């Protein structure tokens, strides 16, 4: 991946409506408190800064992970998009592979986006690498080159743990929400349903395609009949870049997975 070109593309995307959607003023706070969670973002190469920003906006702590020993400091790991071949070389150089396996076996969740999806896959077409942590077969860059990057609205099959702070609503649309709230109508349920039904503006940059998946893999979003967001146990993957939008639903969903896993670990 040409990193200079990618950075320019990310900047352009942020300037467009995908980073300033009309719904962002409605998203106020999660039902859950995520301040007790620390998420690590593998910072060897790729779009790790954007993920860190998204996690912090969700209310959790986020750190850059550059050395294997840092995995002991976090509750969940994000492997970001980037150049998969470069990331693989750096994973092998810094001996991350064994440590990521151990992290996974300790029941700690992992989220891979774009290149991260490729690395977590059980099988990669024409490539002899894959951590094998999710039962999918992947074709790298199947959606085209960087010049073929695109955005597409997709439906998410996830539960979004969102709530709304009625006291801080200020826009014209928000005034109507206040009016409902003042009439003792449970506006949270109405809004949460609306947010969950709203399509997600997915950004595909030199994206991989999930060709097939095992029976234990749950498909959470599709594009043209192909899975683009999937989960198996505590491993979540997507073919696009959720960190490049203002829509935090997928990051909230990953934090919910971490929250659940952490509670189970503490209980045991």
pLDDT 10s per residue in the chain (268 long)? 455 545 555 555 555 544 444 444 334 445 578 999 999 999 999 889 999 999 999 999 999 999 999 999 999 999 999 888 899 999 999 999 999 999 999 999 999 999 999 999 999 998 888 899 999 999 987 776 766 689 999 999 997 554 433 334 444 444 444 444 444 434 344 344 445 568 999 999 989 999 999 999 999 999 999 999 999 999 999 999 999 999 999 999 999 999 999 988 665 4
Q: Where are the alpha helices (DSSP H) in 94-184?
A: 96-105, 115-120, 172-182
Architecture of the domain made up of 3-267: 3-Layer(aba) Sandwich (3.40)
Neighbours of 159 (CB within 10 A): 12
Q: Which uninterrupted H or E stretch holds 81?
A: none
Q: Which uninterrupted H or E stretch holds 43?
A: none
Q: What are phi and psi of 136, to 5 degrees?
A: -135, 155
Q: What are residue 234's DSSP bridge partners? A: none
Count of CA atoms in the C-beta half-sphere (13 A) of 46:
32
Active site members: 114, 241, 243
Neighbours of 250 (CB within 10 A): 25
Which string of b and e fits 121-145 if b means at least 16 CB within 10 Å? Answer: bbebeeeebbbebbbbbbbbbebee
Q: Which uninterrupted H or E stretch holds 210?
A: strand 209-213
Domain ranges (residues) in the chain: 3-267
CA torsion sign for 99, 103, 105, 106 is positive
In this prediction the pTM is 0.79
**What is the spatial distance between Cα 177 and Cα 218, in angstroms, rounded to a whole number?**
35
The DSSP output letter for 35 is T
83 close to 46: Cβ distance less than 8 angstroms: yes
Phi-psi region of 117 (alpha: psi -120 to 50; beta: other; left: phi over 0): alpha
């Amino acid at each position: 991946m040409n990193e200079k070109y990618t950075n320019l593309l990310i900047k352009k995307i942020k300037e467009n409506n995908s980073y300033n959607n009309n719904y962002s003023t409605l998203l106020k706070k999660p039902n859950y408190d995520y301040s007790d969670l620390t998420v690590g973002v593998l910072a060897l190469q790729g779009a790790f800064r954007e993920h860190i920003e998204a996690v912090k906006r969700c209310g959790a702590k986020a750190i850059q992970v550059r050395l294997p020993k840092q995995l002991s400091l976090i509750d969940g790991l994000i492997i970001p998009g980037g150049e998969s071949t470069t990331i693989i070389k750096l994973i092998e150089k810094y001996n991350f592979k064994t440590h990521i396996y151990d992290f996974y076996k300790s029941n700690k969740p992992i989220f891979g986006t774009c290149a991260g999806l490729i690395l977590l896959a059980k099988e990669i077409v024409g490539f002899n690498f894959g951590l094998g942590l999710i039962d999918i077969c992947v074709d790298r860059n199947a959606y085209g080159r960087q010049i073929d990057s695109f955005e597409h609205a997709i439906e998410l099959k996830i539960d979004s743990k969102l709530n709304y702070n009625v006291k801080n609503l200020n826009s014209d649309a928000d005034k109507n929400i206040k009016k409902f709230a003042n009439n003792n109508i449970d506006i949270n349920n109405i809004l949460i349903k609306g947010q969950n039904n709203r399509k997600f503006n997915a950004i595909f940059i030199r994206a991989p395609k999930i060709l097939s998946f095992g029976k234990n893999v749950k498909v959470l979003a599709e594009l043209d009949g192909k899975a683009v967001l999937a989960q198996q146990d505590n491993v979540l993957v997507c073919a696009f870049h959720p960190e490049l939008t203002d829509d935090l639903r997928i990051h909230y969903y990953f934090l919910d997975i971490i929250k659940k896993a952490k509670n189970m670990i503490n209980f045991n």
